[in-house]
Chains A and B, each alone.
Chain A
């Protein structure tokens, strides 16, 4: 490019634009936001108080979220919980939860990405009906499925087996994941795929090396959703799992609610422990989550 004798105009820093709003508006906004956050967090703070108080002493009618005395006994008791035979139950149950949740995530993502890609890109008989069926399945309460699922798992010999829960959880998570991913795939320009076709890529290569890497935000959201579905689920795990060694952590939490008495301290401590991995995942995937949740609907 020939710029000749053209002289670039001197660059001056743009003056800071004053918003013209008074600081009181900002203070009021933050006060409201702070109040709403406090209201949301308050019950959690009470749970934290109960967990951190020795024994069940935190379970008092007081609304003060700060414990009178701090003790980690409840956490220690939950983590070191063992069976009468001396097996480390908590470790076993944590492992169950982790294995089931990770397996659900992997299976769910594999099936959901491939199905969503097909729904997004191919036109085949039953495409619309399939998508609608996924949507309709979301409209029924999960408990409704308990009896038929129990019968199916029993017939398959998968009761009291981790794999049985994986299959059930994946089934629950997939419809949402498919819709979510399909929405995202729809926004990826077709030109990219055609360009890859011209480059000599097969359908699978296109999916694996072009579409999936570009869909990481949506995959992250669906992965988190699948993981949470499995990690937090209680009713089905409680129904299908009979042996304490097969329990997942939500069932463990409930085990502190006895018929005669409730061990509130341990119950609260266990609840907090169960929430930690989900919180960690949220923080780790935070950036992707915002992108994934918004970019599915808006082409950008």
Chain B
């Protein structure tokens, strides 16, 4: 068990203009499940590989369990890693695959057998121990890869997109299994994925990365409800947040957002937070889940024609064109019939929207958090 601390950790590849990972600060508490999430090339895998020791750190300090490990070889870091490709040794049986690391550590045979058996039982692999990896299904291989990590009893588990090679149904099953594994082992786990559903469902805390920078680090709900900036807001949440560019302008004592067929009066707390941006170009962020069809005379923020619908059964996402350049995705209840070509008047839940300044910073984050706390 160990705490992992990244202090201004930087990775710069030779010849690269920009660092792949730029001064990332991250504290992963003992026993915590942290998911590094972000689009391809954001530096999440590089960060994980630096924790593993597979990539050299070019700046900053990395410590595991209070020990600085910048120059410590991977095998001496007491960590285990599950690879995206599983990386099982094809010429060894499942049991040999799991035992390989223990044999190298010269562990007594009886202890190795006990640990392999224990992990196999935990993962439902007992009947496959004598098989070679090629005789296993994708899900079974994935479990062997996890078993290989478990038998080592490391103080930190690292997962590098372990579920991305599985089909959707199996992925859900494995997600549950990984969560159960974390509950039973209570070991520090660092998990890399580009799938925000995995991030939201597995993590104690999510670290959202982009272009080598850590954008936000917080609990899944914190990151979802109070995104620090436009990138995080757009990346976390499905379907993605609607962004509408426009301008803030004063109308009497109030502040009004106008742009692309949309007009919205900011509530007093939001208005105060955005006062500095009055008269400036901003972007309004609206989650599809916080938009609805207006029916009983409440405020309409925009009206438009439904151009496309996605019926999910329990809910329908209606793509509504409120302006020639702007389409809002609006969540409607599953029982509400939405037809392409219909006109939809869109309303927004009071306070439940975000205003981003020209640099993408969420101006309404604190007031949003305040109003959430009050609620």
Do A and B actually bind?
Answer: yes
Give the CA-CA distance A205 to B87 in the complex, in Å: 16
Query: Does the CB pair A196–B100 fall under 8 Å?
Result: yes
Query: Does the CB pair B104–A191 fall under 8 Å?
Result: no
- Interface check A131, CB cutoff 8 A: no
Query: Does the CB pair B104–A197 fall under 8 Å?
Result: no
What does DSSP make chain A's interface, helix, strand, loop or mixed?
helix
Which of A195, A197, A201 has the most chain B CB within a 10 Å cutoff?
A195
By a CB distance below 8 angstroms, the chain A residues around B173 are: 1
In B80-98, which residues have CB < 8 Å from any A CB? 80-81, 83-85, 87-91
Closest to A193 in B: B87
In A183-198, which residues have CB < 8 Å from any B CB? 189, 191-192, 194-198
By a CB distance below 8 angstroms, the chain B residues around A200 are: 75, 101, 104-105
By a CB distance below 8 angstroms, the chain B residues around A5 are: none
A210 shortest CB reach to chain B, Å? 6
B53 shortest CB reach to chain A, Å? 8
Question: Known contacts A200-B75, A200-B101, A200-B104: does B81 contact A195 (CB below 8 Å)?
Answer: yes
Query: Does the CB pair A197–B54 fall under 8 Å?
Result: yes
Interface size class of A (residues with CB under 8 A): 10 to 19
A1, A198, A214: which contacts B91 (Cβ < 8 A)? A214
- Interface check B218, CB cutoff 8 A: no
A192, A198, A205, A214: which contacts B74 (Cβ < 8 A)? A198
Query: Does the CB pair A199–B101 fall under 8 Å?
Result: yes
- Interface check A213, CB cutoff 8 A: yes
Give the CA-CA distance A241 to B100 in the complex, in Å: 49
A153 shortest CB reach to chain B, Å? 41
Give the CA-CA distance A49 to B104 in the complex, in Å: 59
Query: Does the CB pair B85–A198 fall under 8 Å?
Result: no
By a CB distance below 8 angstroms, the chain B residues around A205 are: 104
The interface bits of chain A over 209-227 (1 if a CB of B lies within 8 angstroms of the residue's CB, else 0) are 0100110000000000000
Query: Does the CB pair B81–A189 fall under 8 Å?
Result: no
In A70-125, which residues have CB < 8 Å from any B CB? none
B81 shortest CB reach to chain A, Å? 5
Question: Known contacts A194-B54, A205-B104: does B79 contact A213 (CB below 8 Å)?
Answer: no
- Interface check B52, CB cutoff 8 A: yes
A177 shortest CB reach to chain B, Å? 21
Query: Does the CB pair B83–A191 fall under 8 Å?
Result: yes
Query: Does the CB pair B75–A197 fall under 8 Å?
Result: yes
Query: Does the CB pair A214–B90 fall under 8 Å?
Result: yes
Query: Does the CB pair B52–A199 fall under 8 Å?
Result: no
Would you mind naming 14 contact pairs between A and B with Cβ atoms under 8 Å apart? A189-B87, A192-B89, A194-B54, A194-B81, A194-B83, A195-B83, A195-B89, A197-B54, A197-B74, A198-B52, A199-B152, A200-B75, A200-B101, A214-B91
Using CB atoms and an 8 Å cutoff, list the residues of chain B in contact with chain A.
52-54, 74-75, 79-81, 83-85, 87-91, 100-101, 104-105, 148, 152, 173
